[in-house]
Structure 1
Amino acid sequence: MNLLYKSTRSEDVTVTASQAILKGLADDGGLFVPTSIPKLTIALSELAKLSYQETAFEVMRLFLTDFTDDELKNCINKAYDSKFDTEEIAPLVKADGAYYLELFHGSTIAFKDMALSILPHLLTTSARKNEVKNDIVILTATSGDTGKAALAGFADVEGTKIIVFYPKDGVSPIQEKQMVTQKGDNTYVVGIKGNFDDAQSGVKDMFNNKDLAKAMEEAGYQFSSANSINIGRLVPQIVYYVYAYSRLLANGQISNGEKMNVVVPTGNFGNILAAYYAKNMGLPIGKLICASNDNKVLYDFFKTGTYDRNRDFILTTSPSMDILISSNLERLIYRIAGGDATKTKDLMNALSSAGMYDITDDMKAELADFIGGYADEAKTASTIRDLYEKTGYVIDTHTAVAAAVYTDYVEATKDETKTVIASTASPYKFTRSVMEAIDGKYASMTDFELVDELSTIANVKVPQAIEDIRSAEVLHDTVCDTEKMQDTVETILKMK
């Protein structure tokens, strides 16, 4: 069966998977979604025998039906190779009763590598399939992790340029150093005087600017996205939930068909949406537990049915979750609205104009499998410290938000379902916050002294991604106001 994609905001146009990947965002501003969610065609018992790469093929071939088997396997094999520091790609580690799915073993030590290692290959394959002659300009906003992972993935990829916008004062020192030291003649990094939502809105505005698209076309360029709004980002994320279940099954930690719960630290909603898609494919997932930090717009949404971004934006120690406009939630809204594009568009327009919207009671009923929770800064820090003192296992701040929410959920419900916590970043990416959470005595150390101390107490080798930036030269120092983002892009592309 050839699976097609359509926008969340209109019914009249369908595109192939490769066309959806190339465009990133639909012309009407909506997000591409599959016309149906395919069911797994391989038995869970057989999945338990497969490698990560083989699992990726079995899942992704169901969504990317206009790719040949050879094309897809080529993309997968190029993505999930020695750039990951563990052969398993995404190992499961049991600690204090939960299973931590370590999604940070790629080249930039965050979960974004899981999708952004393969997206460049999916995109260039899509360009060939659709006879694209223009250079593809990857335009991306980042709250810290997507930026570096996208830069690393697209660096020196022929026929592409990548421009990443990030909040100048809204990422960790390690995150910023990773981005501004990125090599590659086609890579550009720009700090903005604003927060992530400002960066994301500016990028979306450029995607939706028809005059800019025309000028780009005349200059031999076209935009695409590496953000999780691109379906080529979402589909690879489904894989690791299927793989996690297969590992529990293979290791005898779960019986065939037994449900597992999933806890995901969530900002832009793409990561937990991938788990929701996996559940709809037939993977035995029970509860989808959405963990927020102090920017708890999603927690409030699941509790009340009202999405309201009209609140203070809080900078936290889990900056990749410092988001008030969760773009991927639109895909869930479309699904629980029964595929009603008009309803979805109306709600998104309300969010844009009034900063909020309410869903219907019928839509709320479709969210029964979602649980919202949140952890404030104190709870996040104490969770890191308590887990380390109890087990010796060190987690980053984002994973700690999820672990804290999981603890609260179990205390409230007594639910003993086996649970996978998405561990979305290495503690080395947020070393200062992690080490100061463990013990205040570390506050006086420099960032790289903390890196070495973390290696000692956790008995984990310093990742190559951190070693690479110890003495790396800053190559990107552009900073602009949010209203100058388009001007900056046009200057980079020598269009003005």
Structure 2
Amino acid sequence: MNLLYKSTRSENETVKASEAILKGLAEDGGLYVPSSIPKLDVSIEALSNMSYQEVAYEVMKLFLTDFTEEELKLCIQKAYDKKFDTDEIAPLVKADGAFYLELFHGPTIAFKDMALSILPHLLTTSAKKNKIKNEIVILTATSGDTGKAALAGFADVPGTKIIVFYPKDGVSPIQEKQMITQKGENTFVVAIDGNFDQAQTGVKEMFSNQSLANEMEKAGYQFSSANSINIGRLVPQIVYYVYAYVRLLANKEIQQDERINVVVPTGNFGNILAAYYAKNMGIPIHKLICASNENKVLFDFFSTGNYDKNRDFVLTSSPSMDILISSNLERLIYNIADQDANKNRSFMESLSKSGVYKITDDMKNKLVDFYGNYATEEMTASTIYDLYNSTGYVLDTHTAVAASVFKQYGKETNDTTKTLIASTASPFKFTRSVMNAIDKNYDKMDEFELIDELSKLSNVEVPHAIEEIRNADILHDTVCKVNEMEQTVRNYLKI
């Protein structure tokens, strides 16, 4: 049976999975969601004997129903190969009473690789299926990790161009260098004088600009997205939560049908939404623990039912979570509004006009599976320090936010359920913040001296992703103001 997708803001339009992947964002500005969340049709016991690639097929075939078995398996085979530096793709590490799901062993050492390694293959397959002759322009905003992972995935992929906007002072030095040294004839990286939310809003405005779409069509182009607003990004993320659960079962860390908690550090809400989908597919997850940094808009939402982006934007040591507009939350809002597109659209219009919306009590009651909390900068640093000193295991700043919230949750609730923490980036990506948390004296070293010191201290080899940028040439130096984003795209595409 074909699973169709619909917009969170319209009752009228339904599209196939390949069409949703191609479009990225619905024409009405909504996000594509499956008409229903499918249940796993293979037993958890059977899944526990499968490789990552095999689990990926069993999960993704249920969402991408217009892909043939051959097409989907080829996409998976091309994505999850030797570009990952561990055979297991997403290994589990047990430390200090939790299981850390290491999602950072891909080519850009961040969890975004888990989805962005496969998205180019899903997209180009979708284009062929739908007889698209236009060149596909991937237009995306990044708070640090999506940009490099998307650039690496789409570099020199025939029939595509990729344009990435990032906040000039809102990413780590390593994140920035990874992006601005990116090779590929079809890649274009632009820093904006603004924050991530402004970059994301600018990108969304271009997607919904019909006049721009018409001009691009004449020039032989069409937009698509690599952000987590694209369902082709979200579906591959569901896989690693299913895989983590069945590995825990295979490793005899949990019993058959035993429930686990999942902690996810998140700003845009896509990663934890994938865990929510996994739960709804039948994975025994108890609590979905949403961990925020000092930009705690999600914590406030789960506490009050009130979403309010009208607050100071804080630059933190976990920049990929420095977000005040959590785009993927819209998919959850739509779901708890009983898939009422008109109701959801009114919330999103309110957010756009006043920066605020408040869900109903009935909707808030449907958030019982979620728990939200946040970590201050001090708590994040002390979590890195404490875990290193007690176990020798080194966390990046984002995972440390999650580990801190995990501890807070345990103290508040006395819940002893076994817990999976999504470890979303390598500590080598945020070396200065990580090393300063361990010892302030490290602050005197430059970025690459710190990297070598972290390698010695953690007994982990410097990842290839870091070595390749050590002496790489800067290939992208374009900077623009927020209100110049569209013209910058026009100039690059010569339209």
- Please tell me the TM-score bracket, short chain as reference: over 0.9
Quote the residue 2:236 is aligned against.
236
Deviations 1:385-425 (A, max 9, x none): 00000000000000000000000100111111110000000
What corresponds to 1:383 in structure 2? Answer: 383
Q: Residue 145 of structure 2 aligns with which residue?
A: 145
Give the alignment of 1:254-273 within 5 angstroms.
254-273=254-273
- Distance (whole Å) between structure 1 residues aligned to residue 394 and residue 315 of structure 2: 22
Post-superposition Cα deviations, 1:45-83, rounded to whole Å, max 9, x if no partner, equal 111100000000000000000000000000000000000
CA distance in 1, matches of 2:250, 2:283: 15
Distance (Å, rounded) in 1 between the aligned partners of 2:421 and 2:409:
13
Instruction: Encode CA deviations 1:23-58: one digit per residue, 9 max, x unaligned.
Output: 000000000000000000111111110000000000
Shift of 1:339: 0.3
Distance 1:242 1:76 in 2: 16
The answer to whether 1:278 aligns with 2:278 is: yes
Q: Give TM-score, length-normalised by structure 2.
A: 1.00
| CA-to-aligned-CA distance 1:294-351 (integer Å, 9 cap, x gap) | 0000000000000000000000000000000000000000000000000000000000
- Any idea what SS the aligned residue of 1:290 has? strand
**Percent identity for Structure 1 against Structure 2:** 74
Partner of 1:56: 56
Amino acid at match of 2:430: F
Q: Return the offset for 1:208.
A: 0.4
How much does 1:449 deviate?
Answer: 0.4
- What is the rounded CA distance, in whole Å, between the counterparts of 1:86 and 1:246 in structure 2? 18
Aligned residue in 2 for 1:392: 392
The list of structure 1 runs, each at least 4 consecutive aligned residues, that deviate by more than 3 angstroms after superposition, is: none
SS in 1 for 2:425: coil
Whole-angstrom distance in 1 between the partners of 2:382 and 2:174: 22
1:32-431 superposed matches below 5 A: 32-431=32-431
Q: Distance in 1 between matches of 2:328 and 2:445?
A: 38
Q: Provide the C-alpha distance between the structure 2 equivalents of 1:51 and 1:325, rounded to a whole number of angstroms.
A: 36
TM-score by length of 1: 1.00
Q: Residues of 1 paired with 2:440 and 2:26: CA distance?
A: 48
Q: CA deviation at 1:187?
A: 0.1
Cα displacement string for residues 133-185 of structure 1 (whole angstroms, at most 9, x for unaligned residues): 00000000000000000000000000000000000010000000000000000
Whole-angstrom CA distance in 2 between matches of 1:415 and 1:91: 25
Q: Within 1, Cα distance between the matches of 2:320 and 2:307?
A: 20
User: How far apart in 2 are the matches of 1:4 and 1:140?
Assistant: 25
CA distance in 2, matches of 1:459, 1:410: 30
- State how many pairs are aligned: 495
Aligned to 2:30: 30
Q: Give the letter for the 1:352 counterpart.
A: S
Query: Equivalent residue for 1:478?
Result: 478
| 2:11 aligned partner | 11
CA deviation profile, 1:216-242 (whole Å, cap 9, x unmatched)? 000000000000000000000000000
Which secondary structure does the structure 2 equivalent of 1:436 belong to? helix
Query: CA–CA distance in 2 between the matches of 1:455 and 1:414?
Result: 36
Aligned partners of 1:27 and 1:44: how far apart in 2? Answer: 38
Aligned mates of 2:398, 2:321 — CA distance in 1: 8
Counterpart of 2:435, as a letter, is M
1:211 deviates by 0.1
**What SS does the aligned partner of 1:183 have?**
coil
SS at match of 1:479: strand
Secondary structure, aligned partner of 1:109: coil
Deviation, 1:13, is 1.0
Distance in 2 (alpha carbons) for counterparts of 1:194 and 1:472? 26
How many Å separate the matches in 1 of 2:266 and 2:467?
28
Distance in structure 2 (CA, Å) of the matches to 1:400 and 1:34: 32
Q: How does 1:437-452 map to 2 (within 5 A)?
A: 437-452=437-452
Measure the CA separation in 2 of the matches of 1:223 and 1:163: 10
Whole-angstrom CA distance in 1 between matches of 2:314 and 2:48: 42
Report the counterpart of residue 455 of structure 1 in structure 2.
455
Q: Distance in 2 between matches of 1:94 and 1:413?
A: 22
CA distance in structure 2 between the partners assigned to 1:366 and 1:10 by the alignment? 22
Letter of the 1:485 partner, please give it.
Answer: M
SS at match of 2:233: helix
Distance 2:336 2:92 in 1: 31
Q: Distance in 2 between matches of 1:257 and 1:9?
A: 36
1:223 alignment partner, SS class: strand
Letter in 2 for 1:362: D
Secondary structure of the structure 2 residue equivalent to 1:6? strand
Can you list the C-alpha shifts for 1:90-130, whole angstroms capped at 9, x where unaligned?
Answer: 00000001000000000000000000000000000000000
RMSD over aligned Cα atoms: 0.3
- Specify the code of the residue in structure 2 equivalent to 1:220: G
Q: For 1:415 and 1:252, how far apart are their aligned partners in 2?
A: 21
One-letter code aligned to 1:437: A
2:172 and 2:266 map into 1 onto residues whose CA distance is 17
Opposite residue 126 of structure 1, the aligned amino acid is S
Q: Secondary structure of 1:416's match?
A: coil
* SS of residue in 1 equivalent to 2:138: strand
**Aligned equivalents of 1:121 and 1:193: distance in 2?**
32
For 1:336-394, what per-residue CA distance to the aligned partner results, in whole angstroms no more than 9, with x for missing partners?
00000000000000000000000000000100010001000000000000000000000
Once residues 135 and 83 of structure 1 are traced to their aligned partners in structure 2, the CA distance between those partners, rounded to angstroms, is 26
Q: Distance in 1 between matches of 2:211 and 2:389?
A: 57
SS across alignment from 2:211:
helix
Q: Which amino acid aligns with 1:153?
A: G
